[in-house]
Structure 1
Amino acid sequence: MKVNRRHFLAAGLAAATAAVARPAAANTGGAATAEHVVLATLLDISKCIACGACVEACRETNGHKYPQPQKPFPKMYPAKVKAADWSDKQDVDDRLTPYNWLYIQTATGEYNGEPFELHIPRRCLHCQNPPCANLCPWGAASKDAKGIVSINDEICLGGSKCKDVCPWHIPERQTGVGLYLKLAPGFAGNGVMYKCDRCRDRVALGETPACIEVCPEGVQTIGPRDEILAQARELSTRTGGFIYGDTENGGTNTFYVSPVPFEALNQAIELGPGKPHLASVGNPFAKEELLARAVYGAPLVGIMAGVLHLVRGATSEDDHE
């Protein structure tokens, strides 16, 4: 059933009340617990052989999270808003899609007079200060205590703000799924955004992300961010390599180490939709305008996220009546 006016107003009032009444999080003042240790990954791309085991493991492990769109899609207004439909192309694995959160990007070229061919597993970098989470108007994108950035498919409206503000344009949209279908299917959002959530359900159980677990070459290492960054710096120093992700976008929780400069790799890879670049990226929140939007918009985002959570609950109850 559609969300009625009474449900929507009740949800909004409850969320606003909760936002005002909610106490600030307590400051423990002690060492971080295991649940609050920020995790990072190191990828030694000199080891990757492009076998695709990580891609397949990601699909098998996260397949239950993939969208199952309803067709035909509602007509969107204005007409320039186009449907994004990957449901008939779920086997595509050479770029990022709502059904493919990890792919192998190959760079072939020459550096210092020597030819190179390197393979780079690409996915969300899980930024330390993620623009997608800071600037999502509905609070659908967030970062947890372990440094995992994820998108809540239950309240995402598919407006793609997260993709617009991501320096690598990582998230991808699927039309025909999500809360927008029950709120205002002709006007609101157009679907749900999807990307790697670093197997957050496995990590919550103390398990290793699927892509890391199955890799036969040990390309990836995961652990506390400070330790992994130290390993990345030691590896780059020892091998004369280069690091990506340390300072990009203000710092990420993914560190690539390469024997070839990333400027050269960026010129050697295929770029385009769903195929992110490897160019240098500054800190977007160094710009006062974006920083102000993130800071002053946070309370409103919290309220809207609460509203959408409650609306989602109301629609679920209606569907079961």
Structure 2
Amino acid sequence: MPTDLTRRSFIKAGLLTAGAAAIAGVPHARSAGAAGKELCTLLDLQRCIACGACVEACRETNEEKFPEPAGPMPDMVPRSKVKIADWSSPEKRAVEDRLTPYNWLFIQEAAGEYNGRDFEINIPRRCMHCRNAPCSNLCPFGAAFTQDNGIVRIHPDVCMGGAKCKAVCPWHIPERQSGVGLHLDLLPQYAGNGVMYKCDRCYQRLEEGELPACIEVCPEDVQQIGPRDEIVEKAHQLAGEMDGFIYGETENGGTNTIYVSPVPFDVLDRSIHKGPGEPHLAPTPDSMASANRMALALAIAPVAGVAGAVARFLSLGGTDNNAKGAE
């Protein structure tokens, strides 16, 4: 590869040769996790006191990953379909009551009555890290990918901000920041509109043998993380002890975020405020079970495979330690 190859020319060359690269065996972007096991988090909702320590720790730990737009943002074509999403002002960066590109975790509050008793339940919300994530399967450029340890990530150097991940996510979790990303180097008025952001479960901390920041700082031990089979077993044990209910074990075909609550989740779903950046808690069928979506995933694979190679090239000066052993 020539030493003066620019990022832009590398990307263009990769996309133009997508089919050939796929035949040559360029893999879909799925990187190996540090632990090698599928990790899952368990959240005991009866413990959460909404102190906000997890939200603050998430912000501090991931601040270096937050987008920093530079200069005016280009108007998109067509304006009616592609809107500029700008959360970069100090006021918007400070928002903590919903998901944003600068706030990957927030506390959703539910209050009401169940079985003749009043309840108040606090629910830490972030990416669910689905086992068969539609964002990972259906991203046309392979920017969204799933590590072998179950973490679902979005590569900021490859993401075009087209928001396919948000559209196919049953909870519409990823949020876009305009004025950053690869599309500015290619077709700034026509291709995407920024980069999508969400919780990456502090993958870098896990690789170093540390806990995700939100789990480490929680004073009430709301969360624990471990191999999924063990976490599922603990979830059922906890639900049995409190005569409670489980969410995430089967939703969207199964996720690596499992909630246990003393109040049914359909009751909680009716009790929470839902809207942009505020996901629901409704029953969620497997979104990848559709034949049409599976066919689309197969059609996307060649381009996504090239994008996976691009992601590895762009990271850490041409290598991506988090994409080793891609399959």
Aligned to 1:284, the other structure's residue is in SS state: coil
| Structure 1 pair 150–51 and aligned structure 2 pair: CA distance change class (3 A) | same
TM-score by length of 1: 0.89
After TM superposition, the structure 1 stretch with the greater mean CA deviation from structure 2, 118-127 or 286-295, is: 286-295
Deviation at 1:57, TM superposition (A): 0.2
Structure 1 counterpart of 2:3:
none
Counterpart among 92, 96, 120 of residue 93 in structure 1 = 96
Structure 2 counterpart of 1:61:
61
**C-alpha distance in structure 2 between counterparts of 1:126 and 1:6, whole Å:** 33
Structure 1 counterpart of 2:141:
138
Structure 2 counterpart of 1:128:
131
The alignment status of 1:51 with 2:54, answered yes or no, reads: no
Q: Is the 8 A contact 1:66 1:98 kept in 2?
A: yes
Structure 1 counterpart of 2:233:
230
Structure 2 unaligned runs (5+)? 1-5, 318-327
Q: Which amino acid aligns with 1:52?
A: G
| Structure 1 pair 72–206 and aligned structure 2 pair: CA distance change class (3 A) | same
Q: Is the 8 A contact 1:246 1:255 kept in 2?
A: yes
**C-alpha distance in structure 2 between counterparts of 1:292 and 1:57, whole Å:** 40
| Structure 1 pair 6–59 and aligned structure 2 pair: CA distance change class (3 A) | closer
Any idea what the Cα deviations from partners look like across 1:296-315, whole Å, max 9, x if unmatched? 4323321344357668999x
Any idea what the Cα deviations from partners look like across 1:82-117, whole Å, max 9, x if unmatched? 100000110000000000000000000000111000
**C-alpha distance in structure 2 between counterparts of 1:257 and 1:9, whole Å:** 47
Would you say how many aligned residue pairs link Structure 1 and Structure 2? 308
| Structure 1 pair 16–52 and aligned structure 2 pair: CA distance change class (3 A) | same
| Structure 1 pair 312–179 and aligned structure 2 pair: CA distance change class (3 A) | farther
Aligned to 1:35, the other structure's residue is in SS state: coil
| Structure 1 pair 292–23 and aligned structure 2 pair: CA distance change class (3 A) | closer
Structure 2 counterpart of 1:84:
85
| Structure 1 pair 44–77 and aligned structure 2 pair: CA distance change class (3 A) | same
| Structure 1 pair 268–10 and aligned structure 2 pair: CA distance change class (3 A) | closer
| Structure 1 pair 107–46 and aligned structure 2 pair: CA distance change class (3 A) | same
> Root-mean-square deviation (CA), in Å?
2.6
Q: Which amino acid aligns with 1:51?
A: C
Structure 2 counterpart of 1:319:
none
**C-alpha distance in structure 2 between counterparts of 1:209 and 1:6, whole Å:** 36
Structure 2 counterpart of 1:186:
189
| Structure 1 pair 77–312 and aligned structure 2 pair: CA distance change class (3 A) | farther
**C-alpha distance in structure 2 between counterparts of 1:125 and 1:264, whole Å:** 20
**C-alpha distance in structure 2 between counterparts of 1:74 and 1:239, whole Å:** 53
| Structure 1 pair 188–67 and aligned structure 2 pair: CA distance change class (3 A) | same
Identical residues among aligned pairs (%) = 58
Aligned to 1:62, the other structure's residue is in SS state: helix
TM-score by length of 2: 0.88
**C-alpha distance in structure 2 between counterparts of 1:9 and 1:130, whole Å:** 27
**C-alpha distance in structure 1 between counterparts of 2:9 and 2:274, whole Å:** 48
